[in-house]
Structure 1
Amino acid sequence: MKGVQPGDKVAEIKSRLDIVELISEYVSLKKAGRNFLGLCPFHNEKTPSFTVNREKQMFYCFGCGEKGDIFAFLMRLNNATFPEALKLLADRAGVALPASPFLRGGKHSPNAREQIIQINHIAAAYFTANLLSPGGKAVLSYLKERGLKESTIKEFGLGYASDGWRHLKSHLEQQKVSLKMAAEAGLIVVKEDRPDVQYDRFRHRLMFPVKDVEGRIIAFGGRILGDGEPKYLNSPESAAYSKGRQLYGLNSSKDAIREKGYGIFVEGYFDLIALWDAGIRNVVATLGTALTRDHVVLIKRYAERAAVLFDSDEAGKKALARSVELFVAAHMDARAVILPEGLDPDDFVRRFGGEALERRVEEAPSIVDYYIDTVIGGGATFEERGEAAVRAAAFITGIEDVIDRNLFIKRVSEKLGIDQDILKKEVYGRLSPKRSREAPPSRRPEKRAAGPEVNLIHLMMECPTVVPSVVEANAMNYFLDRELKSIGEAWGRYVSGEANPAPESALSFLQGQEPSERSEALVKLLIQESPFSKESLGPLSSDMIRQVKRRWYKERHKSLTERLSAAQSSGDSDLGRKLLMEKERLMREEKDL
């Protein structure tokens, strides 16, 4: 963090932003006491363990251990660098960042991701201007003929790449954009055998800017106007864009998804835009790829339910089969919405309207039930049911969670009318060879944290005003746990250099320490509601110091007793006398506590 921006700017940004409000844009949070609770966006879980503390401006997941402040959250969520998160949050907070080599693009120029995003925004403005120019008149008319409202065209930033080989290239050169980076962004194509030959990737195409959840343009999709192939051309993957991890339209639809309680998955740009134009706002689209685990996890940040629009053909059934496993693994309730043959979502809403599609979604069967009925199937004869059971077993073996797997076995056996034990035997018979090849993960037993010592450091971190009295009492010298002693001493030095430590200072401090079980235990305590009352800090700290010291004396007595017994057994009377005197001295000291 040092050397990138002055610390006071970081503090100013934190003071202006509320971590609960920020995280609520990505995770559905519910109040739980003084904290807020939700499903973790960083790992798959059934029960919410992701905790946000407004007072301390920190988050912690009890499931996977991810923790931090607003900067750590955005960096982890967007796979961003600190400077990227800093700029994003500074813009949000209205904090002007001072000019720096990073921001000027000097020696420490923005990384590839940031440069690509900047270039994409320049290109998007160019495409929009083209659409509104005389040269884009026919394209604009085409959009309006499809019934798109002007507000929808503006919302999604639609544009036009003109029918020329180097129009965008010339514009980027005028804007002093690096053509090397424009090529990395996928806007310019450079011939491998002739690097001097460079031309626009998108020509005579309707342009769809692809934005991340923050609204930054990370890629483009282009639809050919007139004849030509491919019909749709997408940006290649880059430092800013991974199609399997992004959903088109999510930046616009996330609030509606949260409000409705479910998100609708469609396949194409026009499918999404048509639904949006028809008043259905809780919709996202995959970007030229099949649904992925990352897509499902992304939607689950905002809602517990989903609906997927499938075609009724064979390709649609295959897509359905792939999707079921993803939703089951994510513990997400999903519905399979099957459209009439020959109609995609765009065609459907233009013919029947948005309300008709919403009714289909409401009436749609569970994706699991639909999959069992249509893909696994069944049959009247013993042979047909047996074949269905084999298909089911092949699918069920892919479900990793044991509880989900057994629930699926129960559901399929009931649907097919076959014995549950027979199906279970088939499934686990397939799994056994695989399991035997996999070595069980080794787990080291967790070291139990020393109660009195953890409690005292917890108090020191929650209430830094007690630190001087702890230092004065030499309490750290009585710590048996060396790691906790090191943390406590370092925290004492940290506090002595801070005039008035903020509530979140302890988290910042712990993030700077070597990750360990002890520091993790302290973070878990800090994220929870403080058990300490300001009125009783004096007596409480004195009592905790006594507990730490008594524990130390108890261990010393135990050690001396064992050594004394050994000395007596070996006949070493001199050592025995010394140990006895040491034991008596300790007893006198302990009495004075």
Structure 2
Amino acid sequence: MYYSEEIIEEIRSQNNLVDVVSEYVRLQRKGNSYFGLCPFHNEDTASFSVSPDKQMYYCFGCQAGGNVFTFIMQMENFSFIEAIKHLADRAHIALPQPEYSEEIRRKIEEKQVLLEIHKETAKYFYANLRSPRGQQASEYLIKRKLKENIQKLFGIGYSNMDFADLYQYLLYKGYDEELIAKSGLVIPKKKGKGYVDRFRNRIMFPIFDVHNQIIGFGGRVLDDSLPKYMNSPDTLLFDKSKNLYGLNYARTSGKNQILIVEGYMDVISLYQAGFENVVASLGTAFTHQQASLLKRYTGEVVIVYDSDTAGTNAALRAIPILSSAGLKIKVVQVPGEKDPDDYIKQNGPEAFQRLFDQAMGAVMFQVSIIRKKYNIEDTEQKIKFTMEVAQLLSKLDNEIERDVYLQEISNDTKISAQSILNEIKKYRTIQRRNTNTINQYSKKLETQPKDQFKTNQAPSTMDEKNGLYKAQKNILSFLYHNPLHYPKIKPHLSYEDFTDPVLMKVAQLMYGQYDKGLNIEPAAVINHFEGLNEQKQVSKIFGEEKNKNQEFDIEKAVNDQIKLIKKANIDKRSRNATDIYEIQSLIEQKKQLEKLYINLISG
């Protein structure tokens, strides 16, 4: 699919990166940039930066980076074209009728067929449940008191015991075997050709995305065999770390909160009891992507995990992740180590509502868990309890909130609020010191010269290809940060000398801009690349900072790297040359290359 450069750039310019990222990540301004916790990996210290000037983001922790299209592609698991459509809608820009390249057309058609396969599979499982073969599964659902209309709403079905039941059905429906395999619904046979069904003799729960499209399945066994629950693997449609079961209904419930439970049955049981604003993670620890997804639809969440040890630990792990997304958090603990489904069946919706009304804040929940570890009647244990709570409260940025909890802890322990506050201040000082150390280290990593800028040695044979790539990337970064040196370098280094195809295209774009007397806009350059990996690759060129204190070293490094690039290009052409005059010309060029030296210091 193809859109003109002009329309892509208009969409990018109308979607300010800081505003878009702020819909997913809580950002704080520091100097000319904004910082927050990276949504792509778990971290405690903000290493994710957004530059308003460059309209680019970069994480010092996981090295994720790019422009607004890259960010949406990473956050939403979108293709480049899907990101264009999403951001065009956001900016109220009408897209023209697109043209299709063969490769893009194939990818779009493949995704569409996979959606059709999942829809057809859901119908098949649903019909199975209502056939004689699904009698045991149907009786199980009746035992769990699930009403027929709720079963239908959630599309609950049954996968037969036969090894290749679904596989043969999808083949019969005319779907290509390769695409059936890519759906994740089948797995290769251990012996011989062909496939067998991934899900067998399980109650099946279709997993919908927020647009009500079926992107995967979860299956529950009917006996005591393991694993008790099984999810679809990650596919072109499905990434369990980026989706939430039930969100398609919860987001339209009209409630100002969303409840988070652990499993499929908890979601369905709560929904049936009238709590329609409920979601569950998909067999994985709660992730930053899931927290960011929730932030799009609510400002407050209520964790309703099981009250056993595993559920409590899961809640404790989820709290900082949800907090980092800017969500207000409450916690409900179901008594008697029961899950919400069992509790509602035994006590009714009204009893659960009373639990819900008594939900405690995330901080007091954490305090209550810490309290269980100590006997505060014992002086020594009271001190340990108070110090651990002080460490917890030191992480709160809101002073009013911190003061409220401080008073509650003081009243509970009879330790003066001032003494607890002094401990909090100590912990906050340590945290600031650690944060400053990490920031200084990150800045040092960002600004220090690369290996090629530190040594005059030729790269080893094993590292030659990698060294060549680094040389090309470093030269482009140098040209971006030092545009005044472009007229000196261009006569000796053409964009065609770059051997990496992505870097060659970047060089061509940069040379074209400089030849017109224009500045380089990194985010606009990234627009020319559709693949997420390519966009990340390009973003690293513009994330480098020039070193202002070692002019001479950089001059020599630039010359060494240009020679390395030119030599690689000449060697490549030599291997393909057949004409004697061309070979002689290349030999002469190689000799002249040894004499090359570009003086960057003098005019």
Which amino acid counterpart does residue 371 of structure 1 have in structure 2? Answer: Q
State the 1:85 CA deviation: 5.6
- Post-superposition Cα deviations, 1:537-584, rounded to whole Å, max 9, x if no partner, equal xxxxxxxxxxxxxxxxxxxxxxxxxxxxxxxxxxxxxxxxxxxxxxxx
Aligned-pair CA distance for 1:200:
0.9
Greater radius of gyration (CA): 1
Aligned equivalent of 1:439? 440
Aligned pair 1:283/2:265, yes or no?
A: no
Matched, 1:152 2:150: yes
Describe the shift of the 1:154–1:177 C-alpha distance in structure 2 as closer, same or farther (beyond 3 A).
same
| Counterpart AA for 2:267 | L
Aligned partner (choices 198, 215, 221) of residue 201 of structure 1 = 198
Alignment of 1:262-273 (within 5 A): 262-273=257-268
Q: CA deviation at 1:202?
A: 0.4
Please point out which of 161, 164, 171 is paired with 1:163. 161
* Whole-angstrom CA distance in 2 between matches of 1:510 and 1:290: 33
In the alignment, which of 126, 129, 142 is matched to residue 127 of structure 2? 129
- Aligned residue number for residue 190 of structure 1: 188
Aligned length: 434
- Aligned partner of 1:210 in structure 2 is 207
Say which SS state the counterpart of residue 167 (structure 2) adopts: helix
Match for 1:249 among 239, 246, 250? 246
Letter in 1 for 2:421: Q
Match runs of 1:16-95 below 5 Å: 40-45=22-27, 75=73, 77-84=75-82
Provide structure 2 residue ranges, at least 5 long, that are not aligned to the other structure: 35-49, 58-65, 448-482, 485-508, 517-522, 530-537, 540-603
Pair 1:228-2:210 in alignment? no
Shift of 1:94: 13
Aligned to 1:335: 330
Does structure 2 conserve the Cα–Cα contact (< 8 Å) formed by 1:148 and 1:274? yes
Shift in CA distance, 309/509, structure 1 to aligned 2, threshold 3 Å: same
Query: Cα deviation per residue 1:39-94 (whole Å; 9 max; x = unaligned)?
Result: 933322489x9xxxxxxxxxx9979878999x999646522113446799999x99
Alignment check: 8 A CA contact 2:24 2:295 kept: no
TM-score calculated relative to the size of structure 2 = 0.57
Report deviation, 1:158.
1.5
Corresponding residue number in structure 2 for 1:361: 356
Question: Structure 2: which amino acid aligns with 1:208?
Answer: F
Match of 1:325 in 2: 320
**Structure 2 SS opposite 1:403:** coil
Percent identity, aligned pairs only, is 29
Q: Which position in structure 2 is the counterpart of 1:316?
A: 311
Change (3 A) 1:405 1:88: closer
Q: Is the 2:390–2:421 contact (alpha carbons within 8 Å) kept by the matching residues of 1?
A: no
Alpha-carbon distance in structure 1 between the residues aligned to 2:137 and 2:401: 52
Is the CA contact 1:396–1:427 (under 8 Å) kept in the aligned structure 2?
Answer: no
Partner SS state of residue 222, structure 1 = strand
TM-score by structure 1 length?
A: 0.58
Mapped to 1, the partners of 2:282 and 2:399 lie a distance apart of 30
Shift in Å, 1:214 = 2.1
Partner residue, 2:299 = 304
Residues 1:375 and 2:370 are matched in the alignment: yes
Structure 1 stretches of 5 or more lacking a match? 21-36, 50-59, 446-480, 494-506, 516-593
**SS at 1:260 equivalent:** coil
State the alpha-carbon separation in 1 of the partners of residues 255 and 28 from structure 2: 20
Mark the CA change 1:510 to 1:383 in structure 2 (over 3 Å): closer, same or farther: closer
Structure number with greater CO (CA < 8 Å, separation at least 6) is 2
Closer/same/farther in 2, CA of residues 380 and 90 from structure 1, 3 Å limit: closer
CA shift, 1:213, in A, is 1.8
Amino acid at match of 1:41: E
Mark the CA change 1:74 to 1:315 in structure 2 (over 3 Å): closer, same or farther.
Answer: closer
Cα distance between partner residues in 2 of 1:119 and 1:83: 22
Q: Residue 423 of structure 2 corresponds to which residue in structure 1?
A: 422
CA–CA distance in structure 2, aligned partners of residues 243 and 299 of structure 1: 14
SS of residue paired to 2:226: coil
Q: Secondary structure at the match of 1:439?
A: helix
CA shift at 1:170, angstroms? 0.9
Counterpart secondary structure, 1:373:
helix
Q: Which string of whole-angstrom CA distances, capped at 9 and with x for unpartnered residues, describes residues 208-251 of structure 1? A: 11122222222210011234222211122334332222111111
CA contact (8 A) 1:183 1:189 kept: yes
Give the letter for the 2:280 counterpart: A
CA-based RMSD: 5.3
Q: Is the 8 A contact 1:156 1:208 kept in 2?
A: yes
Q: Assess if the C-alpha contact under 8 Å between 1:413 and 1:419 holds in 2.
A: no
Give the aligned residue type for 1:403: D
Q: Determine if the alignment matches structure 1 residue 240 to structure 2 residue 237.
A: yes
1:274 is matched with which residue? Answer: 269
Query: Aligned letter for 2:24?
Result: F
Rounded to whole Å, the distance in 2 between the matches of 1:141 and 1:173 is 30
**1:105-144 alignment, distance < 5 Å:** 105=106, 110=109, 116-144=114-142
Matches of 1:165 and 1:90 in 2, distance apart? 46
Structure 2 counterpart of 1:391: 388
Q: What secondary structure, in the 3-state scheme, does the structure 2 residue paired with 1:298 have?
A: helix
Aligned residue type for 1:214: H
